[in-house]
Amino acid sequence: MMDSKLNLDKSKIKKARQLSKEIAGPVNEYISQHTTVAIERATLRLLGADGVSKDEVPVPNMVINSLGDKIQYGAAKYYINALIRKNVSPQELNELIADGLDISSIDFTDQKLIDQKAEELVEGAAKRIKENVAYRSGKIDQYKEKENSPLLYLIVATGNIFEDVKQAQAAAKQGADIIAVIRTTGQSLLDFVPYGATTEGFGGTYATQENFKIMRKALDEVGEETGKYIRLVNYCSGLCMPEIAAMGALERLDMMLNDSMYGVLFRDINMYRTFVDQKFSRMINAFADITINSGEDNYLTTSDAYEKAYTVTASQFINEQFAYDSGLPAKLMGLGHAFEINPQMENGFLYEMAQAQMAREIFPEAPLKYMPPTKYMTGDIFKGFIMNAMFNFIAKSTNQGILLLGMLTEAIHTPFMQDRFLAVENARYILNSTKDFSNDIEFKKDGIMQTRAQDVLDQTIEFLENINQQGLFDSIENKMFAEVSRPKHGGKGFDGVTEKAKDYFNPVYKYLENELGLK
Amino acid sequence: MMDSKLNLDKSKIKKARQLSKEIAGPVNEYISQHTTVAIERATLRLLGADGVSKDEVPVPNMVINSLGDKIQYGAAKYYINALIRKNVSPQELNELIADGLDISSIDFTDQKLIDQKAEELVEGAAKRIKENVAYRSGKIDQYKEKENSPLLYLIVATGNIFEDVKQAQAAAKQGADIIAVIRTTGQSLLDFVPYGATTEGFGGTYATQENFKIMRKALDEVGEETGKYIRLVNYCSGLCMPEIAAMGALERLDMMLNDSMYGVLFRDINMYRTFVDQKFSRMINAFADITINSGEDNYLTTSDAYEKAYTVTASQFINEQFAYDSGLPAKLMGLGHAFEINPQMENGFLYEMAQAQMAREIFPEAPLKYMPPTKYMTGDIFKGFIMNAMFNFIAKSTNQGILLLGMLTEAIHTPFMQDRFLAVENARYILNSTKDFSNDIEFKKDGIMQTRAQDVLDQTIEFLENINQQGLFDSIENKMFAEVSRPKHGGKGFDGVTEKAKDYFNPVYKYLENELGLK
Amino acid sequence: MEGQNMMIRPYGDTMNDGAIQLSFTLPVPHSAKADEAARQYAKKLGFNEVEVVHSNPLSDKFTFFVIYGKTTQQLDYDKVEVEAIEKTMDYYEVNNYIEENIKRKIVVVGACTGTDAHTVGIDAIMNMKGFDQHYGLERYPMIEAINMGAQITNEELIERAVELNADAILVSQVVTQKEVHIQNMTDLIELMEAEGVRSKMLVVAGGPRISNKLALELGYDAGFGRGTFPENVASFVVEKMVEKKAVSS
Amino acid sequence: MEGQNMMIRPYGDTMNDGAIQLSFTLPVPHSAKADEAARQYAKKLGFNEVEVVHSNPLSDKFTFFVIYGKTTQQLDYDKVEVEAIEKTMDYYEVNNYIEENIKRKIVVVGACTGTDAHTVGIDAIMNMKGFDQHYGLERYPMIEAINMGAQITNEELIERAVELNADAILVSQVVTQKEVHIQNMTDLIELMEAEGVRSKMLVVAGGPRISNKLALELGYDAGFGRGTFPENVASFVVEKMVEKKAVSS
Ligand code: B12
Ligand code: B12
Ligand SMILES: Cc1ncc(COP(=O)(O)O)c(C=O)c1O
Ligand SMILES: Cc1ncc(COP(=O)(O)O)c(C=O)c1O
């Protein structure tokens, strides 16, 4: 389907992939030896743990808290043991724990029984997730031809899940293919997942399993009405990456923001914690056939899009590598990039098109996620609206997979309903009017766009070589990404990382490794 | 500088030019045998006639009215004769005429004396116009590098020349290169040119010599301030084509709307009248180095831009031919076309780009004038604003010469000051950001754009052949242009056409024919 | 929803938040003072939580502003009465209606009057081919439709209508700058009254800035705005004709 | 212009025409009635010559409108008082001013507080490299500038400022949804007062939606909005320090 416009040197692309593999090596080594509180909580959730105590502490957190150091053996063992010992259902056990039961000190039953129960519970969760996968692919097949290309991705962010539902349904009717419920500011720093339906968030709505369920239902409804499968997105990133992935898998989310380094760089979460967490979260997403979205756009909100374009490309390679290492196929890799070029820049459109086309040619199977202008958006909503149009144009002309629609009020407030409508109108006009433009043009040999892409690829390789020499951990400390330095042992959540004991037990992890062919 | 993107067949272009020549032939035959009241008035003005009577009748009209049938001999003779006989200056004679002097019945003096005086007067007017030309080219050379490419063309249309001045100066400061003062609705149907500074127009401001002068001064002022030569545009079209051309030449206008058929088709002016008038008006413009703008955009306000694209191309060929026949070089031919493609049309952008590129390749030296979306503009100012952005994009990417900026409020009102600002902002962003896009891409061989352009060229030839067979006069009657039929002897102003007597005298016409190498 | 009291306010992202976007120009130089003036101006207009999110000089003397604000003003939606004429019959129904109720072809004369040269609107209503897949009046078997085109004086229009014994006059007005349409429309009615023919035919106006309300105020039988289809005006004319006859007989 | 009474109104294309563009959404289904409601609503807001130039359904229950209207409301421009702090000294002048008037390095601690993670604004003010060719405070030889970054709690910020004996605290607030910044900014001042340190240092706020007015209301010494440069806040801080010392001594 795709022929090259950029005339990129294939061997250089290969070289970049090789470097990423080498970079990921030591990190994977570390990952394989560690677990985290979030991984354990996610595991518990997939086994059935849920609910909150009177003081709103989630059951998975209560278990982890009571375990202390013992989590090195895997929380699953304790939870399953308690189920057997108390001879109760997960539901009943959850209530007991919520009421104060400490399961860390219950005597262990026969490991065989535990293995058996584990298998039963894992199968149960796996079945539910597989049904979700089957349902989704059925619906997508059924409604395929009504989808936009690229898929139109719209955010809702009222802070109140019930308002979000209204906005999301309206957006779907206006033509959205994907709805992302933005999370409330600050949630990524919480080391637990809030519980239940919520109505109070700032700049976004809490990610909770109940909120997922409510929105899923609302989108299925409006999807049936409009004859389309509306995809639902939320955010894994933060201190609860694997936990949110687990909840998403259970509630049939379709996409998850899930970057291998975002939390480190942009939320000051400890790097070891993030690397360990992201692996398991991505395994869950892979199993649940959930597309991940990486966060390369964020680099450009602080750094210059022209100067630092190569950091985006490098991060895409790294994200790809870690994704493969977690069992994610290319078709689930919504690698990110963004139209953050300075609108004042002469030929900015060409540089941006070169960059977008380059991502397309380097990652031909990935449903690239293209982010709209944000940094240079101002209160001049009119100017902003045409910047969004140029962005939509490039998205279409370089065959991006997922188009996060820009809002004309980006610099002002989280979207009003009308802002979203105008964004869809903008995109639909451009996408339709320029439909086959991409197929109808070629880039001039050694022209501005070709040269630019080749330069960025060269810079990327140089950069990856540099990282490979220093090692990824030190590179981050040395401010090589996003112009920010994160100390290896600093940031949030490092105390949640534990070396696994030799007899660490995690039936979910094991199951997924098998299913995903990672072992 | 330009290489072909469209792969058009050169012999077909040649063929179209040949057909246009054949089409113009019989019309030129008619033109050469006739004069009109407007030609005579224009001639008088260039010889010095000016002013109005107590009842606001312009002196040139008073002369023509008093001449009756005698205009077949040329009004100049009577005017010059009166100057000699009365031994007065034009200024003094104008006052006498305004007060009621009938110069049609003054005995003729020696023809030699008349010829001598004629030469003196023509030289005077020619000198003034040549000085205008020299001044203009000096300024343009001086300020060349500050000009936008394409030149940004903005309209003012308050109805009040003094408000127009404010708006025009503001627009120039915002970045406009060209200011057009739109005429009041209805002026094109007046068979005289109003006098003096005016403050009452609807949808535009009266074209008067005084208004020209006022605006010229204002633009020179703001031009010096911003270090740019700001071009001034007005409208020849209508019943006073040559007269307005004459006034424009004297007051250093830089561009004139001047189409060979616009008045016939869109103002129901008699076709013989228009053809005869346009010739002399274009001769004046050619001499004054004034760029003409043809009105092909108007075809698309009534007909569909996709279906009837060939009528635009055909009209461009015809306009070109008549322009050559009036002594206009290609560099003064601002041939028109317009972005009136239905925004709902799949691949509309591609068809539009093909059409604009085709005009560029067929008329490589002409400063093509590209008109913005108007027909599909609605009250949705946001959507309209991005349609204008796509229009600006194509203008830049196909190297148009003159870019008439679209207004986001096109469907609502004549432009507010802020509308104009937003239009300039839109254009500047797009022009700068896509600066070298045109040089950086090629069109795919036999792709949608190439095929489209080739098809339109074929249709154009077929259409021109058809017109050539019927003759241009009958073609117009037979509704072949703009889906409107104009009877040969119908419309306004036919009674102003007169066959020239054998000893018809017009020293201005003669002078221009010589200067322009038409004889 | 109908019947009960329904107070409404604009909606941004929360019910009744009253959020509104504005833009305008003030005749002052661009400065911090100008921004503050814009803010205060918006407050004077009754907005609160006013944010001047953008300002830009248009010249040394003018500044452009984009503003977001909130208002607590509310409107009782149930009390809103629509004067627009909602679509009634379609092409076939209109023809049948004429055959059954009027029993002869009706005569309609249309024009875009004054110096206004915009033919597309009146053509959309009258021409054979119609508009957006809706047949124009010329196509209606039971309507004799005469489209005089544009730039027709009121005198010419009346003369023709009288000559043809028209049942209705259709006037199009597109140019509205400096309220030129009001003058023009008023003149037509006065002329018709002076000639004593106003009561003999329906007079209907249309154009993108014409509302039924405005037309009624100016003494017309109806007015039609943007997006009108031929059958809308046809329905109105024939029903009104029958209604008038019922009254007068 | 100053001095004499200068009443202003928005300008479209004629002085004092009062022309304004609006857009908003109403919670009603798209219909002729909705259009009329929008028109009446704009009238209620005090506009006349209201034209609903566009309307579009956003869902079964909401409709979007674009409106142009005119207003006769006017504002006395001479009475407008600007509370924004106009730029005063530049980089060199500020340093000289400190050397001459304070005679020691001053200490400034900055942070983006609460859950707000937007560092770019505070970085623009404080980081070495600055913003748009304007050096940040870290570069000023006479300023000791400590940028704590984002997501800093009010407690942490105060603790650090007290520890360093800071002359001024700089607070950045970018997220303003549901007025979260008001709460956060108020808390800081209350906490400082509770700890008895409010009077010991200047407290200055900034962010795209922060105005000097708002900051003063919340008990800050000043507030800075969009487009602030480092020297703007530096000028204010040093002059205020000198002014305060003059008063207290
Ligand atoms: C096409 C066009 C032209 C063409 C007209 C070609 C032609 N043969 O008609 C040309 C290029 C010639 C032209 C010229 C001018 N135009 Co013009 N033109 C337009 C344009 C782009 C579209 C109008 C149109 O065709 N709409 C499509 C039709 C189908 O819609 P409609 O007219 O609204 O009609 C519908 C309804 O209103 C209703 N309707 C209309 N009439 C009637 C009558 C009856 C009885 C009924 C029941 C219903 C009805 O039904 C129709 C179908 O739904 C508009 C801008 C825009 N996008 O709207 C400007 C616009 C109308 N023009 C404008 C102006 C000022 C002019 C000029 C005066 C400019 C100048 N000074 O040179 C000239 C002169 C014309 C003149 N003397 O009147 C202004 C009017 C501003 C104002 N509010 O006063 C506009 C809004 C552009 C602008 N922003 O400046 N124009
Ligand atoms: C970049 C950006 C981000 C980046 C931040 C990266 C970083 N390291 O800072 C990322 C992607 C991480 C991000 C995330 C979010 N963002 Co954000 N973001 C933006 C964006 C695009 C630009 C902000 C910016 O950098 N401006 C450039 C700087 C230089 O300008 P500034 O901050 O105004 O600072 C200037 C002045 O205000 C002043 N100033 C600022 N602080 C101070 C302090 C002092 C003392 C002084 C004197 C002056 C001063 O001086 C500065 C220089 O002139 C804006 C949209 C926009 N275009 O404005 C949204 C925006 C600010 N973000 C928004 C939101 C909601 C979020 C999220 C909460 C969304 C979510 N739920 O996930 C998250 C979470 C962040 C959090 N917890 O706070 C909203 C805020 C809406 C509102 N009004 O409440 C905005 C407006 C986008 C939107 N329309 O939704 N964001
Ligand atoms: C990969 C990724 N995760 C998460 C987020 C959201 O951030 P938060 O941590 O505030 O939820 C973003 C936002 O840009 C992102 O790119
Ligand atoms: C060639 C030409 N002449 C004149 C005009 C202006 O029209 P008028 O002044 O006849 O109303 C136009 C407007 O589109 C035009 O294209």
**pLDDT at res. D3:** 45
Q: What is the largest CA-CA distance in chain C?
A: 72
Rounded-to-10 torsion of CA A301, A307, A311, A312: 60
Residues whose CB falls within 8 Å of the CB of residue C247, separated by 6 or more in sequence, listed in order: none
Interval B75-92: pLDDT, tens:
999 999 999 999 999 999
Retrieve residue D107's tokens: 């200490």
Q: Chain D residues with CB inside 8 Å of A159's CB? A: 177-178
- Find the mean pLDDT for residues A397-419: 96
- Give the distance from residue A237's alpha carbon to the nearest chain C alpha carbon, in angstroms: 26
On the question of pLDDT at B137 being above 60, the answer is yes
Chains that touch D (3 or more CB pairs under 8 A): A, B, C
Residue among B229, B262, B376, B511 flagged as catalytic: B262
CB A273 within 8 A of CB A493: yes
A331: Cα separation from own chain's centroid: 14
On the question of pLDDT at B441 being above 60, the answer is yes
**pLDDT at res. C82:** 80
Q: Is B205 in the pocket of ligand 4 (CB under 6 A)?
A: no
Count of other CB atoms within 10 angstroms of residue D230: 24
pLDDT-based confidence at D86, cuts 50/70/90? low
Helices marked H in C127-219? 154-163, 180-194, 212-217
Q: How many A from CA of A321 to the centre of ligand 3?
A: 20
Integer Rg of chain B from CA: 23
Asked if D115 lies within 8 A of A421 by C-beta distance, the reply is no
Cα B71 to Cα A436, B35, B77, B136, B253: the distances in Å are 60, 8, 9, 35, 28
- Find the mean pLDDT for residues A325-332: 98
Cα A439 to Cα A131, A208, B438, B439, B460: the distances in Å are 38, 43, 16, 18, 27
Active site residue C178: no
Q: Which residues of A198-227 are buried (b: 16+ CB within 10 A; e: fewer)?
A: beebbbbbbbbbbbbbbbbebbbebbeebe
> Best of B339, B371, B410, B420 to mutate for ligand 1, by most ligand atoms within 8 A of CB?
B410
Asked if A350 lies within 8 A of B442 by C-beta distance, the reply is no
Q: Is B380 on the interface with D (CB under 8 A)?
A: yes
**pLDDT at res. B519:** 83
Q: Is the dihedral of CA A160, A161, A163, A164 positive or negative?
A: positive
Q: Rounded CA gap, D11 and D15, in Å?
A: 6
Closest by CA position to A195, among listed A124, A83, A94: A94
- Find the mean pLDDT for residues B395-402: 98
On the question of pLDDT at C87 being above 80, the answer is no
Residue among C129, C200, C213, C245 flagged as catalytic: C129
CB contacts < 8 A (B, C): 57
The ranges assigned to domains in chain A are 34-123
Q: What is the pTM of this model?
A: 0.94
Instruction: Give the C window 84-113 contacts with A, CB below 8 Å.
Output: none
B197: Cα separation from own chain's centroid: 22
- Find the mean pLDDT for residues B60-76: 97
> Best of D118, D131, D181, D183 to mutate for ligand 2, by most ligand atoms within 8 A of CB?
D118
On the question of pLDDT at B3 being above 80, the answer is no
Give me the percent of chain D exceeding a pLDDT of 70: 95
The 3-state DSSP composition of chain A as helix, strand, coil percent (nearest 5) reads: 55, 10, 35
pLDDT-based confidence at D244, cuts 50/70/90? confident
**pLDDT at res. D1:** 41
Give the residue, C211 or A321, on which the prediction is more confident. Answer: A321
In terms of Cβ atoms closer than 10 Å to its own Cβ (0-12, 13-18, 19+), residue B509 is buried
Q: Is B173 on the interface with C (CB under 8 A)?
A: yes
**pLDDT at res. A484:** 85
CB A351 within 8 A of CB A338: no
Mean pLDDT estimate for chain A: 96
Of D31, D51, D80, the CB nearest to C40: D80
Interval D198-231: pLDDT, tens:
999 999 999 999 988 899 999 999 999 988 999 9
pLDDT-based confidence at D117, cuts 50/70/90? confident
Q: Chain D residues with CB inside 8 Å of C33's CB? A: 77, 80, 82
Asked if B380 lies within 8 A of D66 by C-beta distance, the reply is yes
CB A351 within 8 A of CB A341: yes
Give me the percent of chain B exceeding a pLDDT of 90: 94
Cα A52 to Cα A57, A90, A125, A208: the distances in Å are 5, 13, 20, 12
Q: Which numbered ligand comes closest to the C-alpha of D225? A: 2
Asked if C14 lies within 8 A of A158 by C-beta distance, the reply is yes
> Atom 13, ligand 3: which residue's CA is nearest?
A295
- Give the distance from residue C218's alpha carbon to the nearest chain B alpha carbon, in angstroms: 20
**pLDDT at res. A158:** 87
On the question of pLDDT at D2 being above 60, the answer is no
On the question of pLDDT at D85 being above 50, the answer is yes
Q: Chain C residues with CB inside 8 Å of D44's CB? A: 73, 75
Residues whose CB falls within 8 Å of the CB of residue A141, separated by 6 or more in sequence, listed in order: none
Length of chain B as a residue count? 519
Residue among A262, A306, A504, A511 flagged as catalytic: A262
On the question of pLDDT at D247 being above 80, the answer is no
Q: Is A416 on the interface with D (CB under 8 A)?
A: yes
Give the residue, B185 or B457, on which the prediction is more confident. Answer: B457
Q: Chain B residues with CB inside 8 Å of D19's CB? A: 416
Q: Is C120 on the interface with A (CB under 8 A)?
A: no
Residue among D43, D129, D200, D213 flagged as catalytic: D129
Retrieve residue A89's tokens: 């259902």
> Atom 12, ligand 4: which residue's CA is nearest?
B295
Atom of ligand 1 nearest to the CA of C173: 41
CB contacts < 8 A (A, D): 57
> Atom 73, ligand 1: which residue's CA is nearest?
B185
Q: How many A from CA of B291 to the centre of ligand 4?
A: 15
Interval A220-277: pLDDT, tens:
999 999 999 999 999 999 999 999 999 999 999 999 999 999 999 988 899 999 999 9
Residue among A77, A279, A369, A500 flagged as catalytic: A369
Helices marked H in B10-110? 10-33, 37-47, 59-67, 75-86, 90-98
CB A371 within 8 A of CB A297: yes
Instruction: Give the D window 39-68 contacts with A, CB below 8 Å.
Output: 56, 58-62, 64
Asked if C177 lies within 8 A of B203 by C-beta distance, the reply is yes
Q: Rounded CA gap, B2 and B400, in Å?
A: 12
What are B269's strand-pairing partners? B492
- Find the mean pLDDT for residues B471-488: 93
Ligand 3 binding site (Cβ under 6 Å of any ligand atom): A 183, 185, 187-188, 235, 237-238, 257, 259, 262, 267, 295, 298
Count of other CB atoms within 10 angstroms of residue B108: 12
On the question of pLDDT at B1 being above 50, the answer is no
Which domains are delineated in chain D?
Answer: 7-77 (3.30.30.60), 91-248 (3.40.50.280)
Q: Is B381 on the interface with D (CB under 8 A)?
A: yes
pLDDT-based confidence at B379, cuts 50/70/90? very high
Atom of ligand 3 nearest to the CA of A183: 11
Cα A277 to Cα A232, A245, A449, A518, B388: the distances in Å are 22, 10, 38, 16, 48
Asked if D64 lies within 8 A of A414 by C-beta distance, the reply is no
Q: Is B29 on the interface with A (CB under 8 A)?
A: no
Give the residue, A13 or C87, on which the prediction is more confident. Answer: A13
Mean pLDDT estimate for chain B: 96
**pLDDT at res. A203:** 81
pLDDT-based confidence at C4, cuts 50/70/90? low
